[in-house]
Amino acid sequence: MSEQSSAENQTPQQRGPSKRLERRVDALEQVLIQIYGPERLVLRAGKLQALKQLRSDVLEFKVLALQKLILDDPGITYVPTRREIPKMLRELEDELADMIARRTLEDELEKKIAERMQERHEEYVRDIRAQLLKEDGGPETPETLKKLERLSNLDKVALRGSALDVVRPGALHEVIGQELAIDSLMAKLASPYPQHVLLYGPPGIGKTTVARLVLDAAKKFRQSPFQEESPFVEADGTILRWDPREVTNPLLGSVHDPIYQGARRELAESGIPEPKTGLVTEAHGGVLFIDEIGEMDPILQNKLLKVLEDKRVRFDSPYYDPDDGNVPQYVHKLFLEGAPADFVLVGATTRQPEDIAPALRSRCAEIFFAPLVPADVERIVFEAGAKLGVTVLPDAARMISQYTLEGRRAVTLVVDAYSTVYLREDEQPSQINGEVIQRIISRSRLSPVKPILTREPEPGRVFGLAVAGYHGLVLEIEAAVFPAHQPGRGRWHFNDTAGSMAKDSVFNAEACLRRTTGRDLSQYDIHVNVVGGGRIDGPSAGVAIFTAAYSALTGRPVRADIAVTGELSLSGRVKPVGGIPEKIFGARQAGLTEVLIPQDNAPDVPVTTEGPTVATIGTVQDVLAKVFL
């Protein structure tokens, strides 16, 4: 019901009290105007979300506004009824009386303070004059000067440096095992039109170091757009965060508003927002390297992609007034034109390509860093020892390569051994032997990375291949065949931990085994086991499971120097699978001499493959022709 119709429906007896209530409300409002002044009262009402209600003609809403203003509480939302208004007005009048009393007391105190300050004025002036005679001016005080002296003394103290800094590669030829990745990255950065790049690979193999060194080398090429002063800015994607309110964004930059975020004092006093540039502007004209870029917030990734397209960062603020004559020129320029951000993005990640946002991948070239092999680790160990001025004996280097394939971890073990020998001999060590390394490995609780495989051929045992991250794994798959516990009701048994897709491979292997041997498999209980309980995330173990079951059923032993991979169809054809380079690498690590892969995967075999011979298979008959002795 509208206010007018409500007033018309009131009786004369009701209109009288309503008028009195309105006069009391108006009187309270006039008192507030006298206390705050008209303009300040409007600002206060807006801050307390009471302005609209204060300007309303509805008495109940005006009383609600007075509650918010007098009680200083924007959270009050209850609209009183006509019957409740008299009591509420009495309470507000009491509260307002207390407020006026407090303000009167404060005024009296301020008057006394002013009188006391006037009495001391001459003394203050004399003190200030004396201080000005002693000081040249500026913000310095004895306390700040003491802190400056303390910091200066700290700068005079320095350690000799970290051992890891000493052994870190200082040139591209010192990086071991990544020749192909270095050539590929060099081609993309030293080009007249450099590309954004994503670097994939396991941790500790030199992705960050290679990116920094390649930029230094690219600057020397005549056609390179990079200058000698081109920056290399590093960031960690795991710690790059942003606020949806754009309060802070270290990557792209943000605007410090004068009220909430505190721009510089000279700007805040004039109500001027201050844009702060981020890492993308710092990297302008050079390389922005983001480690673990796959861990970045997806929204922040999208914002970064926008900057890659525009090559500028745009700023906006409701506090910016382009006509304000107090705004500095650089602030005008940042708001009107944005900050320059023309750089090459190099992102590194230990994730798989499918885990990276497709929009980011589509804008970047992709380079894969190869996992290190034991020979690479041994070379890294020898060179790290040489930089430390110590000889690492071959047995010590070989032992380290058996326990890690990460260059960073290998170097850490060398440094740890160096410190151990130094402490024991109390002088510059001359060599590091296997005994010291064994002690370091034992207390570090490391496990060998090379699988321990039985080398004797056995019926029902075959080596399959899997992928874990960027490394290939050799799976030992075994099968055993027994007469059915209940004739005609034979069953297949398989690890529950191997995964549902591996179980599907068992069903396909059963169909192919029945087709190949012609036997009634219902007369047998067939047990298939993945030794160690490894989980198989895919159908690539189908051929290996079939081979193990066929070997157990026929009693023929399988070669112990061969591994197989491939998906098996019901008709007995071998279908392609993923991770071929990693699987060949895993077979090489295990010392196998031959690997069987699907025919359709032939193009996936690395050109520079060393180690096992790679043969292709198209059907289960091809497999049976190669795996048995």
Active site residues: 540, 583
CB 226 within 8 A of CB 219: yes
Cβ burial, residue 171 (10 Å; 0-12/13-18/19+): exposed
Q: What's phi and psi for 398, nearest 5 deg?
A: -65, -40
Q: How far apart are CA 93 and CA 564, in angstroms?
A: 90
HEC readout, 299-341: HHHHHHHHHHHHCEECCCCCCCCCCCCCCCHHHHHHHHHCEEC
CB 410 within 8 A of CB 400: yes
How far the first Cα of the chain sits from its last, in Å, is 98
620-627 helix and 500-517 helix, angle to the nearest 10 degrees = 80
The CA angle 97-98-103, to the nearest 5 degrees, is 100
Residue for token digits 């075999």? 605
CB 397 within 8 A of CB 382: yes
CB 211 within 8 A of CB 287: yes
Q: How far apart are CA 334 and CA 603, in angstroms?
A: 51
Residue for token digits 């390569």? 401
Residue for token digits 């001999």? 425
Could you give the 3-state DSSP secondary structure of residue 264? coil
Residue 235: closest CA among 348, 80, 111, 358: 348
CB 517 within 8 A of CB 550: yes
Cβ burial, residue 136 (10 Å; 0-12/13-18/19+): exposed
What are the structure tokens assigned to 404, written together? 């890690």
Q: Amino acid identity of 17? A: P
Alpha-carbon separation of residue 370 from 176, 350, 471 (angstroms): 10, 12, 9
Q: Amino acid identity of 551? A: S
Q: How far apart are CA 450 and CA 473, in angstroms?
A: 9
What are the structure tokens assigned to 295, written together? 């861990």
Residue for token digits 């895993």? 586
Q: How far apart are CA 92 and CA 77, in angstroms?
A: 16
CB 369 within 8 A of CB 310: no
Q: What is the torsional sign of CA 391, 395, 397, 400?
A: negative
Q: How many CB atoms lie within 10 A of CB 100?
A: 13
Q: How far apart are CA 542 and CA 506, in angstroms?
A: 7
Q: How far apart are CA 555 and CA 481, in angstroms?
A: 10
Q: How far apart are CA 205 and CA 291, in angstroms?
A: 13
Could you give the 3-state DSSP secondary structure of residue 42? helix
Enumerate residues 6+ apart whose C-beta is below 8 A from 177: 205, 370, 372, 373, 376, 379, 380, 407
